[in-house]
Structure 1
Amino acid sequence: MAKNDKILIDGIIDEKVELKIPSDKRDEVFEYFVFEQLLKDYDLSKDEILFGSVDGRNDGGIDGFFIFVNGHLLTGTEKFVWPKSGSVLELWIITCKHHDTFKQAPLDNLVASISELFDFGIENEHLQGDYSEELLLQRNNFKLAYRKASSKLTSFKLNFYYASRGNTEELGESIISRANQLEKLAIDCFGNCVTNFFFYGSTELIDLFRKKPNFTLELPFSDYLSSGETYILLAKLKDYYHFISDQNKLRRYLFDSNVRDFMGLNRVNEDIRNTLENENSPDFWWLNNGVTILATNAVIVGKSIQIQDIQIVNGLQTSESIFRYFGLGAKDSNNRSVLVKVIVSNNTANRDEIIRATNNQTTVELSALHATDKIQRDIEDALKLNDFFYERRTNYYKNQGITPDKILTPLYLASGFVNLILKSPEQATNLKARFMRNEDS
Structure 2
Amino acid sequence: MDRITSSLVKEFLSTQEMKTSGDAVDFENFANYAIVANEYHKTFDVFNVTIGAGDDTGIDGLAILVNGHLVEDKNEIDELEKINGSLDVTYIFIQAKTSTSFSSAEMRTFYHGVTDFFSEDPRLRRNADVKKFAEISDYLLSKAANFKSNPVCKAFFVTTGKFREDQNLLAVINKAQIELEDYNLFSRIDLIPIGADDLAKLYRKTINPISRTFTFSNKVSLPSIDGIDQSYFGVVPFSEFKKLIMDDNDSLFNVFDDNVRDFQGESNQVNKKIAETLGGDNPNLFSVLNNGVTIVANKLKTSVNSFSVEDYQIVNGCQTSNVLYEHRHLAALDGVDIPVRLIVTTDDDVKSEITISTNSQTAIKKEQLTSMTDFQRKLEAYYKTIKGDGQLYYERRAKQYNSDKSVVKRRVITIANQIKSFSSIFYKNPHIVTTYFGSLVTKIRDEKAGIFEEDHACSPYYLAGLAYYRLDSLFSSGEVDKKYRKVKFYLIMLVPMLTSKDNIPQLNSYKKIDQYCDAIIKKLNDDAACKEVFRLAVKIVENSGVDVEDKQALKSQGMTNDILKAYNGEKVSGMVVS
**Do Structure 1 and Structure 2 share a fold, with TM-score over 0.5?**
yes
1:207 aligns with 2:213: no
Which one has a bigger Cα radius of gyration? 2
Q: How many angstroms does 1:28 deviate by?
A: 3.9
1:273 aligns with 2:275: yes
Which residue in the other structure is 1:61 paired with? 58
Structure 1: distance between partners of 2:95 and 2:108: 12
Q: 1:397 aligns to what SS in structure 2?
A: coil
1:404 aligns with 2:409: yes
The answer (yes or no) to whether the contact 1:18–1:24 under 8 Å persists in 2 is: no
The aligned amino acid for 1:117 is F
Q: 1:263 aligns to what SS in structure 2?
A: coil
Which residue in the other structure is 1:370 paired with? 370
Which residue in the other structure is 2:32 paired with? 35
The aligned amino acid for 1:59 is D
Query: If each structure's strand is expressed as a fraction of its own residues, which one has the higher value?
Result: 1
Would the alpha carbon gap of residues 51 and 80 (structure 1) be closer, same or farther in structure 2, given more than 3 Å must change?
Answer: farther
The aligned amino acid for 2:270 is V
Q: How many angstroms does 1:358 deviate by?
A: 5.5
Would the alpha carbon gap of residues 41 and 255 (structure 1) be closer, same or farther in structure 2, given more than 3 Å must change?
Answer: farther
Structure 1: distance between partners of 2:243 and 2:274: 18
Cα offsets for 1:101-135 (capped at 9, x unmatched): 33455445445544543123x4xxxx554323332
Q: How many angstroms does 1:160 deviate by?
A: 1.4
Aligned equivalent of 1:17, options 13, 25, 46: 13
- Report matched runs for 1:65-80 at 5 Å: 65-75=62-72, 76-80=76-80
The answer (yes or no) to whether the contact 2:220–2:233 under 8 Å persists in 1 is: yes
Aligned equivalent of 1:392, options 392, 396, 416: 396
Q: 2:264 aligns to what SS in structure 1?
A: coil
Which residue in the other structure is 1:133 paired with? 128
Structure 1: distance between partners of 2:261 and 2:50: 22
Q: How many angstroms does 1:354 deviate by?
A: 3.7
Would the alpha carbon gap of residues 379 and 397 (structure 1) be closer, same or farther in structure 2, given more than 3 Å must change?
Answer: same
Q: Structure 2-normalised TM-score?
A: 0.62
Is 43-52 or 284-293 further displaced after alignment? 43-52
- Report matched runs for 1:141-156 at 5 Å: 141-150=136-145, 152-156=147-151
Is 210-219 or 345-354 further displaced after alignment? 210-219
Which runs of 5 or more residues in structure 1 are unaligned?
none
Structure 2: distance between partners of 1:154 and 1:227: 45
Which runs of 5 or more residues in structure 2 are unaligned?
226-230, 445-450, 452-578
Structure 2: distance between partners of 1:33 and 1:352: 35
Structure 2: distance between partners of 1:297 and 1:183: 42
Which residue in the other structure is 1:438 paired with? 440
- Report matched runs for 1:25-424 at 5 Å: 25=21, 26-47=23-44, 49-75=46-72, 76-81=76-81, 84=85, 88-103=88-103, 106-107=106-107, 109-110=109-110, 112-120=112-120, 122=121, 128-150=123-145, 152-169=147-164, 173=168, 176-190=170-184, 193-211=187-205, 212-215=208-211, 217-224=213-220, 226-229=222-225, 230-247=231-248, 249-250=250-251, 252-256=253-257, 258=259, 261-266=262-267, 267-280=269-282, 283-296=285-298, 307-326=309-328, 328=329, 330-332=331-333, 335-355=335-355, 361=362, 366=367, 369-385=369-385, 386=387, 388-400=392-404, 402-413=407-418
Structure 2: distance between partners of 1:61 and 1:168: 20
The answer (yes or no) to whether the contact 1:70–1:264 under 8 Å persists in 2 is: no
Q: How many angstroms does 1:323 deviate by?
A: 3.4
User: Which structure has the higher relative contact order (CA within 8 Å, separation 6+)?
Assistant: 1
Would the alpha carbon gap of residues 117 and 405 (structure 1) be closer, same or farther in structure 2, given more than 3 Å must change?
Answer: closer
Structure 1: distance between partners of 2:130 and 2:56: 6
Structure 2: distance between partners of 1:365 and 1:60: 45
Q: Structure 1-normalised TM-score?
A: 0.79
Q: How many angstroms does 1:391 deviate by?
A: 1.0
Q: 1:341 aligns to what SS in structure 2?
A: strand
The answer (yes or no) to whether the contact 2:258–2:371 under 8 Å persists in 1 is: no
The answer (yes or no) to whether the contact 2:8–2:200 under 8 Å persists in 1 is: no
Q: How many angstroms does 1:329 deviate by?
A: 6.0
The answer (yes or no) to whether the contact 2:216–2:307 under 8 Å persists in 1 is: yes
Q: How many angstroms does 1:225 deviate by?
A: 6.2
Structure 2: distance between partners of 1:413 and 1:242: 32
The answer (yes or no) to whether the contact 2:101–2:159 under 8 Å persists in 1 is: yes
